[in-house]
Chain A
Amino acid sequence: MKITEFDRTRDLIIVESKIWGRGRYRDLSLAIDTAAAATVVTPYVIEWIGYTARDGTAITTVRSAIGKEQGYILKVARFAALGFVFQDFEVNVFDLAAGHDIDGLIGLNFLQHFDYEIRSIAGKIAVRPATADTASS
């Protein structure tokens, strides 16, 4: 079980994340979002680690409360958060709302691999890989 700390005084649950691209990586603050199917990263971060929209595998349209946003799906070399790392991890690349103050969201395509417990008062998330045992219990 890995324990990740977050600042419980913030409006969102924001955790340290790491994303690798072409020969470089970036440390980012991403918000945990159990209502997001995909992990989202903003285009400027993706460009910063050496990818372009041409590396995308599909175009996406996200309908949010502020309107339609076009983006694309991309596999990054590696993605790490909550103490775990995935290779060739798929992210949805699109611009969050103007004036945002995070670099993206950690969605269910990452979280679904784990059992996790969010301890809001303590400001901690306890995470362990999901197993067949925990899935059936």
Chain B
Amino acid sequence: MVQARLADTPFISEPLTWEQICERYPDEWVCLVEIDRPIDHNFAFRTARVVGHGKHPRDPIMQARPFCDHYEGMGHYFTGRVRARIMGMVIE
């Protein structure tokens, strides 16, 4: 319960690299702001600030709400390994 309350508390991290973010929040979803990205359509960035994190995709979004008025844009990413899942259509 203490952890849950702490996770709900608004916070903004110092600028972090993606490697530092993955190390700090392993296998979690994160919300990022101030993403310093040299090429807009590539993922790679120099640093970003974390404003939310959690196990479920919605967790960081809820946590980042206090920052939505301050930032027009935010990033939403998973720090763990992305696994392929079967999404094929069923032929009836």
Interface set of A (CB-CB < 8 Å, partner B): 2, 4-7, 10-12, 14-16, 18, 23-29, 31, 33, 35-36, 42, 44-45, 48, 63-66, 80-83, 96-97, 100-103, 105
Contact = CB atoms under 8 A, between A and B. Distances in A.
Interface of B is mostly: loop
Given A44-B57, A83-B41, A33 B76 contact: no
B24 to A, nearest CB: 18
A125 B84 CA distance: 19
Nearest to B42: A5
Contact of A45 (B41, B76, B89): B76
A2 B80 CA distance: 28
Interface of B: 32, 35, 40-44, 57-58, 61, 68, 72-78, 80-90, 92
30 contacts: A2-B41, A11-B84, A12-B82, A12-B84, A14-B43, A15-B43, A16-B42, A18-B73, A24-B68, A24-B73, A26-B73, A26-B75, A27-B32, A28-B75, A28-B77, A29-B43, A29-B78, A44-B57, A44-B61, A63-B90, A64-B87, A80-B41, A81-B41, A82-B41, A96-B87, A97-B87, A100-B57, A100-B85, A102-B82, A103-B76
